[in-house]
Amino acid sequence: MKYNFFKSHNFMNRELSWLSFNDRIIKLVKDPSQPLLERANFLSITQNNLDEWYEVRVASLIHDIQSGSNEEDPSGLTAAEQLKVVRKAVKSQLKEQYKVYTKSLLPDLNKYDINIVNYVDLNNKQLIDIKKQVIKIYKQGLIDISIIKKDEGWPKLASKTINIIATTSIDNTFGNIQISENAPQLLRVTSSNLFVRTVDAIRENAQLLFKKLEVVEKAFEYRIIRDAYMPDLPVNSSDVIADEKNLLASRSFAEIIHLSINKNTPNFLKNKLSELLYVNPNNIFKVQGPLDFSFVSELKVSLLKNKKIDVSSLQYVPREPHHFKELENKNIFDNIEKHDYLLHHPYDSFDPVVNFFQAAANDKKVSEIWLSLYRASKKSPIIDALKLAAKKGKKVNALIEIKARFDEENNLKIVNELRSAGVNVSTSFADYKVHSKMAMVVRNEKKYVHLSTGNYNEKSAHFYTDFGIFTSNIDITNDISNIFNYVITQKNQPKTLKQIQMAPTMIRPRLTKEIKRLTDLAQAGSTPEIWIKVNSLSDKKLIDELYIASNSGVHIHLLVRGIATAKVDSNRLGKNIQIHSIVGRLLEHSRIYLFKEDNQHFNVYISSADVMPRNYDRRVELLIPVLNKDNKQKLYDLFNKMWHDRAQTFAKKKSGKYIKRSVKDPKVLPIQEALLIEAEQKQGGE
């Protein structure tokens, strides 16, 4: 993308930084070192990322503009200025999506005789087959047909669904087809590797579907995105669940903030859609090619069903994780009592985490189970274990964060499920989220805890990297007990804790203290280092502290997957700051904060918190010290390996752009693949 990343010389705009992250994923689509079907999946991911970002972040900018705000962000841009530059950047990114799809992905798929073609390019036999599939989709209720006459309201449209508007021979009468999100996005010609986009097939068969209309003249697809921004609830909210349900209900008919149409859509139809859907013309994007690239992710599923073609070489090699066998049986608590365990998922299996709850539910010596949950799978074995424990008469307390974005409905369902099973369920604070990931089991009056950087979701644990610690350390377990009492009752917020630091009151001061301590050491002539691995880095106050430390001689290594608004390689700011980003097979979700005095002395923390104002100031988060010497060294060595990776790492430059690091030896494996192989080769146990 061609735009100036920095208006202010101190900080990059957060939204442009995010778009830069999505650019890095787009680069993977044309990366020949990635398996072909995985490249297709990366294109789908860029679409999903862009949709969610637009629903929340762009929506937030629009809200700020509508409220009359002229406040500048750390990069020096007002909301109106940000929206202007963001629209320009989005147009550039949409063009790049289309370019890599047509110039890179499609030609490479064709080499393997995997073809996504236009409906009009099919022969008669193939057309008959696809037409039958369109009719089947219609009969399954996955296509919603509407005929709109003059002055009639437009049908209710779901966000992120593909629609087709049809002009007719009847004056001021239009047809609309809404394709359900549950409909397949690709139709496969029987017994072949020939695919047609569903919307393409439905559009070309519009006349068949509009039986009540004499003539359908032309049909064009369009796609909308609605505002999904969810404001904080009032502090004095008396019923958090009811208020959250009302917000969720309003999201389904919220303002349309993005309308995409094909370039060949006539201007009169563009204007008509703008009028009928109440869309600001500035929020209409004319694009070339597909309006939604998430369809390419269906290729892998469809091809795997076809036994006639071997696609194993076109996807990542499945890897078996390392198993801590001593944590996967009923003796898990006895083993945790012996020493702490540090797990790195998905390289280490998530099975011990599930077993932690299942063993607790079945162990007669266990009297209490406590859990703070942010996200979970739809059919979670952990939720089943809590229900079983309650049924067996154990005291089960669960804090369910119902405001977890886009998981609100699932979490509300979990609340009802657990309460029906006899679990004592609390929902979180009205004005901020409980984002900490913690669990505690009380067995024979002794406490055992599991603390994590990621969610209690066994599904996402297969492709999200996260750390988890099992411990029975008395200081940590007592800290967690105090934190649970606080979040469950929403009373008696701890002012101090012995080992754990908790946002919103403790994490920022602790990190600032660590940075200043190393800054003082550097000013005294030492060469200390700061190593931070997070998803996002945008907190102005902490970045300012890092700038000061950097200019004092502290060497700072920032491994940031997504947003990173700090500047690097500057004589005035960040001259000792480097920022790398690893994108690839696994989503880097783990967080490490490491403060190194020298090779023998360093403090290490894992955390649920990114370097963002919301994490430090408006959420309950945990900063967890790693006390075991071997585990501290393990994390430092791991960070070193990841930092020196060249095969899947991008480095941020002074301009704000990211450049893929060069690889001298093509046989060198990407760090994630190397770690997966290393884990697979380990034997069970430690």
Catalytic residue annotation: 435
Which candidate, 483, 520, 514, 479, places its Cα nearest to that of 500? Answer: 479
Element holding 595 (H helix, E strand): strand 592-596
Distance of alpha carbon 566 from the chain centroid: 21
Beta-strand pair 619-625/186-188 = unpaired
β strands within 77-198, DSSP E: 115-117, 143-148, 162-168, 174-179, 186-188, 194-197
CB atoms within 10 A of CB 520: 14
For the chain, helix, strand, coil in percent to 5 are: 40, 20, 35
Which candidate, 56, 125, 119, places its Cα nearest to that of 86? Answer: 56
- Token pair of 11 as six digits: 């900080």
Element holding 518 (H helix, E strand): helix 507-523
User: How many Cα atoms sit within 13 Å of 150 on the Cβ side?
Assistant: 3
Which candidate, 663, 675, 585, places its Cα nearest to that of 28? Answer: 585
35 neighbors 313 (Cβ within 8 angstroms): yes
Element holding 676 (H helix, E strand): helix 671-681
685 neighbors 595 (Cβ within 8 angstroms): no
Element holding 399 (H helix, E strand): strand 395-400
**What is the rounded CA–CA span in Å between residue 398 and residue 403?**
15
Crossing angle between the packed helical segments 298-305 and 36-53, to the nearest 10 degrees = 140
Burial (0-12, 13-18, 19+ Cβ within 10 Å), 328: middle
Secondary structure of 182-221 in HEC code, one letter for each residue: CCCCEEECCCCCEEEEHHHHHHHCHHHHCCCCCCEEEEEE
Beta bridge partners of 163: 178, 222
- Token pair of 105 as six digits: 């992905």
**What is the rounded CA–CA span in Å between residue 370 and residue 398?**
6
Place of tokens 């997070």: 534
Crossing angle between the packed helical segments 59-66 and 79-100, to the nearest 10 degrees = 160
Cα-trace Rg, the chain: 27
- Token pair of 650 as six digits: 């991008």
Beta-strand pair 284-287/256-262 = parallel
**What is the rounded CA–CA span in Å between residue 436 and residue 469?**
13
- Token pair of 428 as six digits: 């979180």
Beta-strand pair 433-434/619-625 = parallel
